[in-house]
């Protein structure tokens, strides 16, 4: 599957560029010491993923991805950073054992996933997605998935209220 006899199509090329961007962003987010940098490089990853979504024909998902992740989540995180102090990050204790174990665990998990993916013979898709998939998506959400959708809105409201309640500074809540 990863043999060199692949035809270099436009999709492939775009996939590779975006994949490299996404991975780079993620790796940098983990490696950078300052939190704000991490957030920004992760935002880069999110954007790359949005590109991949477009590539996969999920324009609406890509749109939401940019809107929510890059627009909302990242900004939320930055606010979070701004409201807390991060001046002792440099003198962090090193935990080589934990890190090594976590590395081994993650690599092992990746190995399993990789070999599984490689060993699986994916059948060709039996059809194609509709051309106007945003409209189709809308119909789907408001018909078949109407109840989950409504529940989702309730969840968001509750989360919103909850977040406000939690973060509200109360006089008798001070340390």
Could you say which of 89, 90, 91, 146 contacts other proteins (CB under 8 A)? 89
Alpha carbon distance 39, 77 (integer Å): 7
Q: Under a CB-based contact definition with an 8 Å cutoff, are residues 39 and 81 in contact?
A: yes
Q: Is there binding between residue 90 and other proteins (CB under 8 A)?
A: no
CB of 58 to other proteins, least distance (A): 5
Q: Segment 1-20, which members bind other proteins (CB under 8 A)?
A: 1-2, 6, 11-12, 15, 19
Give how many residues touch other proteins by CB under 8 A.
Answer: 98
**DSSP assignment of 106-166:** HHHHHHHHHHHHHH--PPPPSS---SSHHHHHHHHHHHTTHHHHHHHHHHHHHHHHHHHHH
Could you say which of 44, 47, 51, 65 contacts other proteins (CB under 8 A)? 65
Q: Under a CB-based contact definition with an 8 Å cutoff, are residues 79 and 22 in contact?
A: no
Q: Is there binding between residue 173 and other proteins (CB under 8 A)?
A: yes
Alpha carbon distance 41, 26 (integer Å): 7
Alpha carbon distance 11, 25 (integer Å): 21
Q: Segment 105-144, which members bind other proteins (CB under 8 A)?
A: 105-110, 112-120, 122-130, 133, 136-137, 140-141
CB nearer to other proteins: pick between 4 and 84: 84
Q: Is there binding between residue 146 and other proteins (CB under 8 A)?
A: no
Q: Is there binding between residue 103 and other proteins (CB under 8 A)?
A: yes
CB nearer to other proteins: pick between 4 and 123: 123
Q: Is there binding between residue 73 and other proteins (CB under 8 A)?
A: yes
């Amino acid at each position: 599957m990863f043999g060199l006899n692949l035809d270099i199509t436009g999709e492939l090329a775009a996939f590779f560029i975006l994949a490299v961007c996404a991975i780079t962003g993620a790796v940098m987010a983990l490696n950078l010491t300052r939190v704000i940098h991490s957030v920004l490089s992760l935002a880069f990853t999110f954007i790359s993923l949005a590109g991949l979504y477009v590539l996969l024909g999920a324009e609406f998902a890509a749109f939401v991805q940019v809107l929510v992740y890059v627009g909302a989540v990242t900004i939320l995180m930055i606010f979070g950073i701004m409201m807390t102090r991060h001046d002792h990050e440099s003198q962090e204790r090193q935990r080589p054992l934990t890190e090594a174990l976590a590395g081994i665990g993650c690599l092992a998990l990746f190995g399993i996933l990789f070999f599984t993916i490689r060993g699986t013979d994916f059948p060709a898709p039996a059809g194609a997605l509709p051309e106007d998939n945003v409209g189709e998506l809308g119909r789907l959400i408001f018909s078949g998935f109407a109840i989950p959708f409504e529940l989702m809105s309730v969840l968001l409201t509750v989360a919103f209220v909850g977040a406000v309640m939690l973060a509200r500074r109360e006089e008798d809540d001070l340390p």
